[in-house]
Amino acid sequence: MGRRALVLAAVAGLLGTALVLSLVDQRLRAGEDRALEACGDRAYAAAVRADSVLGSMAEYIRPSIAERSGLWVLMSEAAERARPDVDEALSVCRDVRVRAVHRTHMRERAAYVDYLTARRDRLDAIVADGRASAETDPELARLREVAFGDRP
């Protein structure tokens, strides 16, 4: 076998290997896409549920009335009701495994986990003291934007 044939065989082998690796990577990426989509859907549903539960209770009790009447406990109870959905979504998202070479997937997973962790911590604060619900949390809002973008 001449030198030229040897070079051609090596190039063909490298191209074949690259093609196989590309196909394997596509399959791995597709599995990560599905897992991240499920994680994102759960995270968003938990966020919407928490917003709804806390928002409707906040509309009901108004801070000035709550302070005089001790109704802050209702906000604590509402936060407690929202907590299981956030915990479940956080568990699902933490369990998603992505390869380090898939940087976009790594950032997406981190955004969901960071938001859900902050949301859980915020709910914990409200459970401990319903008055915490009257405080704004710009960091939570920023993390939500990173995780969900312009989703309503």
Q: What is the pLDDT of residues 6-33, one digit of tens each?
A: 766 666 666 666 565 666 666 767 778 8
Q: What is the pLDDT of residues 44-91, one digit of tens each?
A: 999 999 989 988 887 777 666 656 667 788 889 999 999 999 999 999
Identify residue 57 by its one-letter amino acid code. Answer: M
Q: Is the pTM of this model over 0.75?
A: yes
